[in-house]
Structure 1
């Protein structure tokens, strides 16, 4: 059974303008549903595609005979003979094979449709299911994709353009001269049959055919609760928290990555943009260990629990005899600030053990909004029983390091993470932080970065290209893209 939000259109706020982002769908197809189909468009369709629509029961035998004769004369197929009901049956079954079996099934389905629905209902179903090229299905989606408009705002010329490309949207998309020829032919038919007036005909012909394609995405149902600010069930519209520029940025980041990657951006706990190689639900439902990205939280807790900035801890071994991997070789003793900068596991384990694991786990439980039963001692290194989603990780940073709630300890932590940002990315931006983490034998690589306004969390998964470096190319990818999203030298500086 379909989710009740399937077919809803998602909008973002671009200044005072609402911009369509995509459609709720658990598959690749974009199919926005609409209960409003212009009466004049239905009349146009009947005249052009199936003039005996109101008198047949799904099969137009006269039309089939005429098409057969015309095809014989031409020596190739020039007419199809399919009724609107047959075309609807084909769009519903999504079967376009040119076989006798497919045609038979289509015919049976068309007769069933005629028995089940009224003629007006069939036209509504047709315009909600007709294919408009790429992954676009339905009149409403086509209006949003080609014109950025809801159906009721489309002009007659725009409606006629959509009717013009119906027979082969992907074919016509590459042939504007063919579109123009067919558009004129359609207007001539409507004029000859007195469906439009001569003045309307002349206006249609004089109007230049223009489109401005809007990139539409399919948003899976699972992601909607995280981004919906308001849901209008009557209009089947979702007003989201998504920022258009940030959404375009994160989608470009994913498209240009040679590895599977996911990214999400939050401001004050609200999702402003997200994208993933694995689908729009992935940043919210996929959970894993997040490695050293939890160290900044733990750092603040340790400092506030009495660990001084001068106290040294063993960097080569830990008091629990855990075998842990380290990024590289450091001094044998590190203070807690150095341990955070170098992301040294042994030092953190030793400091955490000194404070007491129970209090550390209680703290992490509050930060991550997870029950303490989901945590165990190794959670200080980023491990949990059920894992942490990319959204949960970004939300923890967004909430904890919110500028409105900064303490001296948090500011101290951020100043260290600013040095990490410069060390790893080579970008001198004083108000930006970065923390990375690798898990699952370096197959999952995390980066959380941001400034006073915005937090990005990024996860890169490995594939057959097998980049064996700890972070190298991952940091290069982030460096190439992310600097454009942060302004340099703002007043807000962590010192």
Structure 2
């Protein structure tokens, strides 16, 4: 798998690209770039370390000057750290004001100077400097505060980022102070002939309005599942994320009483995802998925000779398995009734008629897995390696694609719409729902959607492993999805 760490992730809306997050293996938002403007590097040197090009990591004159100024002021007003020392501090990740930390910082700075050119040190600085929040580097700061990438930042926006360097949180919360420092720095750049009078005038007359464009941290393992296009030169991933659906999913997770993971598909592409356990959880965590496989089995059985009127025992099965049923039923159920009530015995009996091994081959093809991953109990949703909610959602999205609807699938969807209406109390045509429980009822699955969008929800850690307690799960789904689904929309599969 390619390492996309540091790549910025974008989503598209109305034909335009907007930043969504950064690929990172820790909590920090660190977006990397291969190019930082040379004039901005000159500004940085003038503002932070005028003798940067001449010293070897430690500027003794600056240290002596800082000591003198601090003594005269009666407090610490200046530091003597060079750009290289600041880089060392940022990479060490330790801001404690101790002698040991200062020694480590100095040694690290000397190491940088020995192993890198001055320009390489500047690039590393631009990439690693801390900007408050969980932001690292100028690119992340530009994406967060202005919603813009490196090349799109204006001269005024670059100067603002240089302005807040010494105290990002302080200056962001004191915009009047930041404006004064901004004007001061612009005048200093003018005095050193680094900018023109016209540029200085534009700087001081400009009104900089930083914002808070939340940047999400995504694990590298997520990238292949959401990438639509890769811009290697710009270190960008253009994703399949639909921001409105993503906001809906994120709010659902944030307001859930229990840990929950959700993924959403449209046209077989991931358009939203999230989890209480981390962004990678929907893709890498696998478990048994219970009765959520029954709709696939229903269609397979109907396509292979099981008639709509044929009934099967709901109380026992030909394989002599002891299985738990959620409710009591009639003694005999046809396939539509078995699907509606999610009766295990009836499905075992129907599969036994067609052939267990043939059915397992169908499931392995459906999930693009080795046949050895499936065994007889896969009829009830168990597999050797488990199934992720990404795999489950993709299977539903592809199997029930609007362009791939058959008579058996329409029969199945009619039953799933009845389940949707019964469980969620929402009167919506052609929306579907199928649920499943595993791990002694501590994991609850719900696959639902309409002809356009498929959602998979996994709720974990149900405190009471009691089958009579499923009401709260459906209430939570209904509360959230009643606003997502429109009762006025007449959804159509064909």
Aligned residue runs from structure 1 range 446-485, under 5 A: 446-462=445-461, 470-485=469-484
Give the CA deviation at 1:312. Answer: 2.5
Moved more, 64-73 or 440-449: 64-73
RMSD: 1.9
Corresponding position of 2:271: 272
Give the CA deviation at 1:227. Answer: 1.6
Structure 2: distance between partners of 1:417 and 1:402: 15
| 1:442/1:470 contact within 8 Å kept | no
Moved more, 8-17 or 286-295: 8-17
Corresponding position of 2:30: 31
Give the CA deviation at 1:280. Answer: 2.1
| 1:25/1:220 contact within 8 Å kept | yes
Give the CA deviation at 1:492. Answer: 3.9
Structure 1: distance between partners of 2:196 and 2:242: 44
Give the CA deviation at 1:452. Answer: 0.9
Moved more, 116-125 or 416-425: 116-125
Structure 2: distance between partners of 1:28 and 1:470: 36
Deviation digits for residues 137-164 of structure 1 (CA, Å, limit 9, x no counterpart): 1111111111111111111110111111
Secondary structure in structure 1 of the residue aligned to 2:193: coil
**5+ residue gaps, structure 2:** none
Corresponding position of 2:383: 384
| 1:431/1:489 contact within 8 Å kept | no
Give the CA deviation at 1:494. Answer: 6.3
Moved more, 431-440 or 273-282: 273-282
Give the CA deviation at 1:313. Answer: 2.2
In the alignment of these two chains, the number of paired residues is 493
Q: Is 2:429 the partner of 1:430?
A: yes
Aligned residue runs from structure 1 range 278-297, under 5 A: 278-297=277-296
Moved more, 450-459 or 20-29: 20-29
Give the CA deviation at 1:361. Answer: 1.1
Secondary structure in structure 1 of the residue aligned to 2:262: strand
Secondary structure in structure 2 of the residue aligned to 1:71: helix
Secondary structure in structure 2 of the residue aligned to 1:41: helix
Structure 1: distance between partners of 2:258 and 2:71: 53
Deviation digits for residues 303-332 of structure 1 (CA, Å, limit 9, x no counterpart): 222222222222222232222222222223
Q: Is 2:34 the partner of 1:13?
A: no
Corresponding position of 1:75: 74
| 1:431/1:488 contact within 8 Å kept | no
Deviation digits for residues 104-126 of structure 1 (CA, Å, limit 9, x no counterpart): 00011111111212222211111
Structure 1: distance between partners of 2:171 and 2:284: 40
| 1:415/1:494 contact within 8 Å kept | no
| 2:428/2:490 contact within 8 Å kept | no
**5+ residue gaps, structure 1:** none
TM-score (norm. length: structure 2): 0.95
| 2:312/2:332 contact within 8 Å kept | yes
| 1:412/1:494 contact within 8 Å kept | no
Structure 2: distance between partners of 1:79 and 1:257: 48
Q: Is 2:192 the partner of 1:193?
A: yes
| 2:402/2:493 contact within 8 Å kept | no
Change (3 A) 1:5 1:129: same
Give the CA deviation at 1:77. Answer: 2.2
| 1:430/1:489 contact within 8 Å kept | no
Structure 1: distance between partners of 2:452 and 2:476: 22
Secondary structure in structure 1 of the residue aligned to 2:476: helix
Give the CA deviation at 1:195. Answer: 2.7
Aligned residue runs from structure 1 range 408-423, under 5 A: 408-423=407-422
